[in-house]
A and B are shown apart, each in its own frame.
Chain A
């Protein structure tokens, strides 16, 4: 199994505080990887390293077999796309125009969108079930629709890797399932490498191929779902008692909310 991204011996400090101390992690190509850990564990910092918003003080990060610092901005965008946390903007572009921005990395200074670009944009919209909304103003979108649009834009970038930061935290379970399923489809049908932070451990269990677990800036575990989402590791990292039920190969995590639950 080859790696889409490999981080080797990463050190990173922020304002005199050491956040990563010799961290190494790899993200398998063509798989759905979830990044989990309590708040403040370094998930967002790790994501920011992946999208080159931050540079490690020591160590190296490879996209494929190229060092990330050797990419120029557009090259990077062609290899890796990013879906930020829910951050709506106040400008009323249409859904189509917004998704079309994803084609920027493939355009030269003088080029305009050609028919190929348009068909890619339309495919991306279709994949996210947005075809009938393509002329809607993005300001009028619901939370779920907006998130789908962001992912659609990332798809239009045609990058092998898609990194997402909390894509479903603000959505109800229907829309959570909808979006995670669409991401899953991307992995299964298009072999996109999806790397995402997620809070809901059961969603992680249901959709991920690979899990990376963080605590205080260190990788506590990385690997297959059932090897990472164990009672022992979860209790260590989250400091909450849990029960695990396994259905097929997938664990179901049941936190003990109070003493008398389930007894």
Chain B
């Protein structure tokens, strides 16, 4: 019996929820701008013309802070969820998460190393930290792929190498951070994830990256399904397994690395979102891709809203919220799923 909720039912619901969260994220914030003013500001457009209706500060808050931040949360959510989906297919393991190949520990290490050698400072510009983080991720991922013998070896080898490198990098990073307490605090805070550094430049880059990394996946959903079978079966069905796995691995790793570079390490989304939808609507990637694309941002946006409203005017790190809120949610679903079997 075909179980599960139909895509045609759940997707519209998700889209509505996403739209609502998006709107809410624009309207809510520590600056306390009334909804009517927010709408006015949005309709006025991106360029500010002096008007008594609202101040320049309010205009800049809506257009240059909230909107980019919201968009960044959206894009990061999509890339993380879809990236997680791809990793779970590549490793044939629904518990694979996008950080398993050293992206997050590599990024943190890159930042720590950057601070240590003086490339980064407490008063650093917009691009140095993301550059250091991205460099670290790239290095770590490449190292893992090389050390594990490339895609010639099994996923298990890849996974184990990734775990080993994660541990090594974390240990190394702790060593580095022993040298300077204020650096340590800054790096730890950055690692915990935040969308607050969202700007239009970053949104533009993320949009392009999302397109490049998610776009092609639409054409690879058949292969993603078949990759879930064992390798012999996949090859015999005509899938160039090694080539496809390499392409998918590179695309998703690149996308996830960029998100980490901009927003720190945001957990739960990549692991749980595809997993939850797989439980609800089944394993076909044609559906899973769409659902992850929409479901990921729902989680990140909701978490960001909590992050900025819970202790306003202070804020909480987003990554902590996604982990805290997400895990119990997953267990509830797991219990329900088991009961239905």
List residues of A whose CB falls within 8 A of some B CB.
Answer: 51-53, 72-74, 76-78, 80-82, 84, 87, 89, 91-94, 97, 101-102, 104-105, 107, 109-110, 135-137, 153, 157
- Contact in complex: A105, B237 (CB < 8 Å): yes
Cβ contact of A91, chosen from B223, B228, B236, cutoff 8 A = B228
- Contact in complex: B235, A53 (CB < 8 Å): yes
Cβ contact of B236, chosen from A51, A89, A94, A110, cutoff 8 A = A51
- Whether A82 touches B228, Cβ cut-off 8 Å, given contacts A92-B283, A97-B284, A136-B1, is no
In the complex, 23 of the A-B residue pairs with CB atoms within 8 angstroms, ordered by the A residue number, are: A51-B236, A53-B232, A53-B235, A73-B239, A73-B240, A74-B238, A77-B237, A77-B238, A78-B238, A80-B236, A81-B236, A84-B230, A84-B236, A92-B283, A93-B225, A93-B283, A97-B225, A101-B237, A104-B223, A104-B238, A105-B237, A135-B1, A135-B2
A173–B210 Cα distance when bound, in Å, is 54
Least Cβ distance of B157 to chain A in Å?
A: 18
- Contact in complex: A104, B237 (CB < 8 Å): yes
- Whether A102 touches B232, Cβ cut-off 8 Å, given contacts A93-B284, A135-B1, A137-B1, is no
Interface centre among B2, B237, B240 (most CB of A within 10 A): B237
- Whether A73 touches B238, Cβ cut-off 8 Å, given contacts A94-B2, A104-B222, A135-B2, is yes
Cβ contact of B226, chosen from A80, A104, A109, A136, cutoff 8 A = A104
CB neighbours (8 Å) of A51 from chain B are 232, 235-236
Known interface pairs A77-B237, A91-B278, A137-B1; 20 further A-B residue pairs with C-beta atoms within 8 A, sorted by A's residue number: A53-B232, A53-B235, A73-B235, A73-B240, A74-B238, A77-B236, A81-B237, A82-B233, A87-B233, A89-B228, A89-B230, A92-B282, A93-B225, A97-B284, A101-B226, A101-B229, A102-B237, A105-B238, A136-B1, A137-B2
Within 8 A of A (CB), among B198-251: 219, 222-223, 225-226, 228-230, 232-233, 235-240
- Contact in complex: A91, B283 (CB < 8 Å): yes
User: Chain B binding site: helix, strand, loop or mixed by DSSP?
Assistant: loop
Least Cβ distance of B233 to chain A in Å?
A: 6
A212–B225 Cα distance when bound, in Å, is 35
A75–B2 Cα distance when bound, in Å, is 33
CB neighbours (8 Å) of B284 from chain A are 93, 97
Question: Looking across the interface, which residue of chain B has its beta carbon closest to that of A76?
Answer: B238
Instruction: Kindly supply a per-residue 1/0 record for chain B positions 137-156, scoring 1 wherever the CB is within 8 Å of any chain A CB and 0 otherwise.
Output: 00000000000000000000
A80–B235 Cα distance when bound, in Å, is 11
- Whether A137 touches B237, Cβ cut-off 8 Å, given contacts A84-B232, A89-B230, A104-B226, is no
B3 touches A (CB below 8 Å) = yes
Instruction: Kindly supply a per-residue 1/0 record for chain B positions 1-26, scoring 1 wherever the CB is within 8 Å of any chain A CB and 0 otherwise.
Output: 11100000000000000000000000
Question: Looking across the interface, which residue of chain B has its beta carbon closest to that of A106?
Answer: B238
User: Inter-chain contact count A-B, CB under 8 Å?
Assistant: 71
Least Cβ distance of A15 to chain B in Å?
A: 16
Instruction: Kindly supply a per-residue 1/0 record for chain B positions 261-287, scoring 1 wherever the CB is within 8 Å of any chain A CB and 0 otherwise.
Output: 000000000000000001000111000
Interface centre among A92, A105, A153 (most CB of B within 10 A): A92
CB neighbours (8 Å) of A94 from chain B are 2
Cβ contact of B225, chosen from A74, A76, A101, A107, cutoff 8 A = A101
Least Cβ distance of B226 to chain A in Å?
A: 5
A82–B282 Cα distance when bound, in Å, is 26
Question: Looking across the interface, which residue of chain B has its beta carbon closest to that of A105?
Answer: B238
Least Cβ distance of B136 to chain A in Å?
A: 34
List residues of B whose CB falls within 8 A of some A CB.
Answer: 1-3, 219, 222-223, 225-226, 228-230, 232-233, 235-240, 278, 282-284
Least Cβ distance of A139 to chain B in Å?
A: 9
CB neighbours (8 Å) of B235 from chain A are 51-53, 73
- Whether A104 touches B239, Cβ cut-off 8 Å, given contacts A82-B233, A135-B1, is yes
CB neighbours (8 Å) of B219 from chain A are 109-110
A126–B145 Cα distance when bound, in Å, is 44
A135–B4 Cα distance when bound, in Å, is 12
A74–B235 Cα distance when bound, in Å, is 9
CB neighbours (8 Å) of B2 from chain A are 94, 135, 137
A139–B298 Cα distance when bound, in Å, is 31
Least Cβ distance of B148 to chain A in Å?
A: 20
Question: Looking across the interface, which residue of chain A has its beta carbon closest to that of B282?
Answer: A92
CB neighbours (8 Å) of B232 from chain A are 51, 53, 82, 84
Least Cβ distance of B281 to chain A in Å?
A: 11
A94–B233 Cα distance when bound, in Å, is 17
CB neighbours (8 Å) of B233 from chain A are 82, 84, 87
A45–B125 Cα distance when bound, in Å, is 60
Cβ contact of B222, chosen from A77, A87, A107, cutoff 8 A = A107
Least Cβ distance of B275 to chain A in Å?
A: 12
A107–B282 Cα distance when bound, in Å, is 23
A251–B223 Cα distance when bound, in Å, is 45
Q: Which 7 A-B pairs have the closest CB atoms?
A: A77-B238, A105-B238, A82-B236, A91-B283, A74-B238, A73-B240, A135-B2
A73–B219 Cα distance when bound, in Å, is 18
CB neighbours (8 Å) of A52 from chain B are 235
A211–B238 Cα distance when bound, in Å, is 28
Least Cβ distance of B6 to chain A in Å?
A: 13
Least Cβ distance of A149 to chain B in Å?
A: 12
